[in-house]
Structure 1
């Protein structure tokens, strides 16, 4: 780096450069420390000197920051922005990043609005339930409506029984099986048919998996799952499942020779 006894024409001190660009001296010093923008020269007295070309680079940094680039990204991209194609490529990549952020923020906004609606409907302050609703919203679990209908004992059971991964796996299987049941209902497949009974068996196995074999939970599940009037698309779908399954389950239990719901009454 060249040294000068006085500040020559075309050079400016860090204070002058900062004032021209409307930033602080500390910011310029930080950019120098991070290797983003080093001064072009140094005076004999050790003063760091900048040029108009440095100001152009500083303007690039400010522009990229306003587009959402991190300082680390800018440090890498400033080297390669030599042609219009380089600039266009950098902007295209940043546009993709912005779209992802928009999607994430949109999902977060939806979750907040849904949680607000659920809080107002619950009419009670229950942070455990709020947390469960948030987790299920993040999992895109559209049956999160059920959470407000669960009592604390059932929610504690779910928290101990499932983590996020196993919970997602269970809900995926539950939804797939529910879709299959809805299709059987649409096709008017009789409840006593072998096809229907096989699905009923799988459904019952899922219930036993959910309860971990604790049949004392069955009355609560019956109460929770009882939907007289559907308030949303999920409840409408579940009501269809329940209406179709009720006679099919009676046939299934009859073949087993025992009704587990009667055993716990």
Structure 2
């Protein structure tokens, strides 16, 4: 498939896909046909995985540093667990901060009666 179809299937833009390629976040072989890049189902799966990892709050730098080794099987289960536990802790802290802001906003809203 061409990049436009890959973009449609993953919800990413072609520019984002090209950027991820430059960061070496995509795996798999690409064959050039008439000068156009070709993609397959492994690219769809890889990009959806990156989207999911980003949704968990990981940065592209985290993905480059940690998840390339993860996918390549170079991390032990203990290392994988530590990565996920650390991220969960960060997300819990962020959620607590967001909740504090929500409480504050509710109080402020209450100051302005109808």
Note the aligned Cα RMSD (angstroms): 2.9
- 1:28 paired to 2:40: no
The 3 A distance-change label for structure 1 pair 102 and 17 is same
| In structure 2, distance between residues paired with 1:116 and 1:44 | 59
Which residue is equivalent to 2:2?
A: 13
| In structure 2, distance between residues paired with 1:38 and 1:47 | 17
Ranges in structure 2 where 5+ consecutive residues have no aligned partner = none
- 1:109 paired to 2:81: no
Q: With CA pairs under 8 Å and 6+ residues apart, which has the higher RCO, 1 or 2?
A: 2
The 3 A distance-change label for structure 1 pair 60 and 87 is farther
The Cα shift of 1:61 comes to 0.2
| In structure 2, distance between residues paired with 1:92 and 1:48 | 37
Which residue is equivalent to 2:37?
A: 48
Which residue is equivalent to 1:99?
A: 92
Ranges in structure 1 where 5+ consecutive residues have no aligned partner = 1-11, 122-265
- 1:90 paired to 2:83: yes
Computing the radius of gyration from Cα coordinates, the structure with the larger value is 1
The 3 A distance-change label for structure 1 pair 48 and 21 is same
| In structure 1, distance between residues paired with 2:9 and 2:97 | 37
TM-score by length of 2: 0.69
